[in-house]
């Protein structure tokens, strides 16, 4: 299955999913725009990255969203998303390999183990790979739904009504045009960043009590900046720069700065006035 086919599948699913939301209306062309950019960021439009393990990380990355999956006994602080995706699939009656469920830990403990298994064409690896290829629509549906669930989730963690209003206003400013229509680039930004660095609501996803998710980006966004997308990109870069500065030196997160910033540069977009 080619990368081009993968993102065309995502296009259809994103369009259908978002069309089910009463207050969100997008065109197929807008869905096309969003889907291709998200899959380009995560998998370079190549299905070989559906089962992957990035250098320097302690977990596998699965599916079109490179959802985090931990081995048994793992104590990593980041949100483990792949089991949530599997749970979503279970709720929608997706057919899964007999050994796999939302409770199943990653069967590999390292990148070396995973790639050794891959090289041998291990049955378990092949079943997982085929399962992810055949169920891309569910993965796309989960990602788009998560981006919209992010707003009420963020608001539920805030006590101050003024702060809630600010977050809601800035979220909607990215998502909507002045006439109330959905801006496909803004929607892409929200879907991509939530999938990339999370909602920012998980206490464990912080260094020195400072997070880097969507909530923190919106909190620190310069509302005086006329270009809303540049304001978001600049704030996201600042939050990830802060994360790098706060991170344990043993993690060596500085090595990711260039790649992260390159991804955030895709959020820049010159709007027609």
- Domains of the chain: which residue ranges? 3-137, 138-265
Summarised one tens digit per residue, pLDDT across range 109-156 is 999 999 999 999 999 999 999 998 888 777 777 887 888 889 999 999
For position 20, what pLDDT does the model report? Answer: 47
Residues 6 or more apart in contact with residue 258 via CB below 8 angstroms: none
8 Å CB contact between 69 and 51: no
Q: Crossing angle, helix 228-246 and helix 161-175, to 10 degrees?
A: 120
Mean pLDDT within 219-248: 96
Give the predicted TM-score (pTM) of the model. 0.75
Whole-number Å distance between alpha carbons of 113 and 58: 12
Spatial strand order of the sheet with 67-69 comes to 51-52, 60-62, 67-69
In this predicted structure, the answer to whether residue 28 has a pLDDT above a threshold of 60 is: no
Out of 8-17, 199-208, 226-235, pick the least confident.
8-17
Q: Which helix (H) or strand (E) holds 67?
A: strand 67-69
Closest CA to 81 of 24, 143, 25, 36: 143
Query: What is the reported pLDDT for 1?
Result: 46
Let me know: does 229 contact 185? Beta carbons within 8 Å. Answer: yes
For residues 134 and 9, the answer to whether their CB atoms sit within 8 Å is no
Cβ 136 vs Cβ 85: under 8 Å = no
Q: Alpha-carbon distance 266 to 191, whole Å?
A: 13
The answer, yes or no, to whether residue 73 has pLDDT greater than 90, is no
Question: Which SS3 state, helix, strand or coil, does residue 69 take?
Answer: strand
Confidence grade of residue 223 (pLDDT, cut at 50, 70, 90): confident
- Residue 218: its pLDDT value, please? 98
User: Can you give the pLDDT at residue 30?
Assistant: 56
Task: Check residue 92 and give its pLDDT.
Answer: 84
β-bridge mates for residue 52, sequence order: 61
Distance CA 20, CA 34 (A): 17
């Amino acid at each position: 299955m080619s990368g081009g086919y993968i993102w065309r599948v995502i296009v259809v699913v994103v369009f259908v999913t978002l069309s089910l939301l009463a207050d969100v209306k997008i065109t197929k062309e807008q869905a096309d725009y969003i889907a291709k950019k998200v899959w380009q960021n995560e998998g370079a439009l190549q299905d070989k990255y559906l089962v992957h393990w990035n250098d320097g990380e302690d977990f596998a990355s699965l599916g079109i969203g490179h959802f985090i999956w931990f081995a048994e006994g793992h104590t990593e602080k980041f949100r483990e998303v792949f089991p949530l995706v599997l749970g979503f699939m279970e709720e929608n009656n997706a057919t899964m390999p007999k050994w796999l469920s939302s409770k199943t830990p990653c069967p590999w403990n390292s990148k070396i183990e995973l790639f050794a298994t891959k090289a041998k064409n291990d049955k378990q690896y092949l079943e997982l790979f085929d399962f992810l290829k055949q169920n891309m629509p569910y993965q796309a549906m989960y990602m788009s739904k998560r981006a919209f669930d992010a707003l009420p989730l963020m608001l539920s963690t805030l006590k101050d009504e003024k702060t809630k209003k600010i977050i809601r206003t800035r979220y909607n400013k990215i998502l909507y045009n002045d006439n109330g229509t959905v801006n496909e680039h803004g929607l892409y930004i929200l879907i991509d960043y939530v999938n990339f660095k999370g909602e920012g609501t998980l206490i464990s996803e912080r260094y020195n009590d400072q997070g880097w998710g969507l909530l923190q980006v919106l909190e620190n966004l310069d509302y005086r900046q006329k270009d809303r997308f540049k304001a978001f990109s600049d704030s996201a870069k600042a939050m990830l720069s802060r994360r790098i500065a706060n991170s344990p030196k043993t993690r060596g997160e500085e090595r990711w700065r260039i790649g992260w910033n390159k991804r955030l540069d895709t959020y820049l977009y010159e709007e027609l006035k």
